[in-house]
Structure 1
Amino acid sequence: MSNVFEGYERQYCELSANLAKKCTAAGALNGEQKKQKVSEIKSGIDEAEALIRKMDLEARSLQPNIKGVLLAKLREYKSDLNNLKSEIKKIVSGNLNPSARDELLESGMADAMTASADQRTRLMTSTERLNKTSDRVKDSRRTMLETEELGVSILHDLHSQRQSLLHAHDTLHGVDDNIGKSKKILTNMSRRMNKNKWIIGGIVLVLVIAIGLILYFKLSK
């Protein structure tokens, strides 16, 4: 909620309540006192209209979700101000003759004051409901931001885990290459050992044959 709007709103509510009291007081006055009171009320209505215009400009400069709530409030305030204008017109029309004024005070003013009181009650109820709606919007926005931050954190963690997995994959690939090289080396060593084994076997066989021949020739003499 805009602090500027709330400041104008407080001023308007105080001014509206003050004007309603002045309307009630003006209905019971006569002559110059009544004219002076009516003049004060009209001046106050002009001031109230100026506040509503300021609130309207401020509301339209805000974000769409907040603007909708504030413009709904403004409709209630404009309706309240129109009621005040109607009341002052009835009070002014009471200057035509004493009997009209008395009739206005006895019936019309009572109805107008009752309607105005009902309107203000509805206005207060609507304002409270709109404030609650605004609070829910704020809570939803805060929850959305927290969810967004959580999502960013999860994505960051997933990215880190992906980098770790890629690094582990590269490491395993390197180990696999080393194992392959070691296997080739062992295979070559095994071949060489088999070759050497056959060579040694051949040498031993030759030696055995040579020894046998030597013994044969010696024994035959």
Structure 2
Amino acid sequence: MVSIFEDYEQQYSVLTAELTAQIGLLTASASKDRRQLISKIEKHVEEAQELIEQMDLEVREVESSKKHRCKTRLDCYRAELKRLTLEYIKARSVKQEALYDSAEELRDIRINNDQKQKLLDNAETLERTGRKLNDGYRVVVETQEIGNQVLRDLSDQRETIQRSRARLRDTGEELSRSSRILNSMLVRAVQQKVILYTVAACFIAFICVGLYFGFHD
């Protein structure tokens, strides 16, 4: 993206150099050839504005480490184009009465000057809009970074919850195993008591039988 931005910069440099030379010629010119020169200047101003718009679009795609430097250069280009536009308006309005044959021609030129002022106003509006778009883009990027951080935090919390669930599952299995062992021990204890009571009953029965036969003998 930076290479494309630099290509636009080179085109802009060539264009502004031609604009500067043409504005100088317009200031020194005192003939009706100014009309053709004015037409060329206006065309070049429009091309310069389009290049700035293209550079503004490319700046948004530049990696963050180079974005600030590119934006600073772009602001300089906007200021330079604004200065050249003002110089053009000033050069075009010099000695207009002496350069044209009729009041109608002069009136047409003044109308064109009004149009040029509107063009300058539009350029300023475009510049303000560009700054607002850059601010909006920066807010979007910051919001995206915050959203990514929130997603990372949620992912970490989910992993923590999953680990806690795994520990609870393991603990439940341990408790189930312990419960089975305890139940098995209780069953054995009951069985042992039954056996003990049975043996004791048999022993008592034997004693009773022995005493019975002993008394009858």
- Would the TM-score normalized by the shorter structure come out above 0.5? yes
Partners in 2 of 1:104 and 1:28 — Cα distance? 20
Aligned to 2:190: 187
Partners in 2 of 1:17 and 1:108 — Cα distance? 25
**What CA RMSD, in Å, does the superposition of the two structures yield over aligned residues?**
5.0
Alpha carbons of structure 1 residues 58 and 18: separation in structure 2 relative to 1, 3 Å: same
**1:147 positional shift:** 1.8
Rg: which structure is higher?
A: 1
* 1:139 aligns to 2:142 (yes or no): yes
Partners in 1 of 2:8 and 2:130 — Cα distance? 11
Alpha carbons of structure 1 residues 56 and 143: separation in structure 2 relative to 1, 3 Å: closer
* 1:99 aligns to 2:100 (yes or no): yes
Partners in 1 of 2:30 and 2:187 — Cα distance? 120
Aligned to 2:120: 117
* 1:167 aligns to 2:170 (yes or no): yes
Alpha carbons of structure 1 residues 116 and 130: separation in structure 2 relative to 1, 3 Å: same
1:1-221 maps to which residues of 2 (within 5 A)?
Answer: 27-30=26-29, 48=48, 51=51, 55=55, 58=58, 98-99=99-100, 103=106, 107-108=110-111, 110-209=113-212, 213=215
Partners in 1 of 2:211 and 2:10 — Cα distance? 125
Q: Percent identity?
A: 13
**1:154 positional shift:** 1.8
**1:165 positional shift:** 1.7
Partners in 1 of 2:57 and 2:138 — Cα distance? 22
Partners in 2 of 1:43 and 1:203 — Cα distance? 132
**1:27 positional shift:** 4.7
**1:30 positional shift:** 0.6
Partners in 1 of 2:147 and 2:127 — Cα distance? 30
Write out the 4+ residue segments of structure 1 that deviate beyond 6 Å after TM superposition: 2-24, 32-35, 37-40, 59-62
Aligned residues between the structures: 186
**1:191 positional shift:** 0.7
Q: What's the secondary structure of 2:28's corresponding residue?
A: coil
Deviations 1:47-90 (A, max 9, x none): 8489469648847978xxxxxxxxxxxxxx9xx99xx7xx89xx
Relative to structure 2, which stretch is displaced further, 12-21 or 171-180?
12-21
Q: Which sections of structure 1, spanning at least 5 residues, go unmatched? A: 63-76, 92-96
Partners in 1 of 2:5 and 2:140 — Cα distance? 17
**Corresponding letter in the other structure for 1:145:** N
Alpha carbons of structure 1 residues 45 and 194: separation in structure 2 relative to 1, 3 Å: same
Deviations 1:29-48 (A, max 9, x none): 3169979x879958966984
Alpha carbons of structure 1 residues 166 and 31: separation in structure 2 relative to 1, 3 Å: same
Deviations 1:124-183 (A, max 9, x none): 210121012101211221122012112211221121012112111211221121022112
Q: Which sections of structure 2, spanning at least 5 residues, go unmatched? A: 63-77, 93-97
Alpha carbons of structure 1 residues 203 and 50: separation in structure 2 relative to 1, 3 Å: same
Alpha carbons of structure 1 residues 31 and 51: separation in structure 2 relative to 1, 3 Å: same
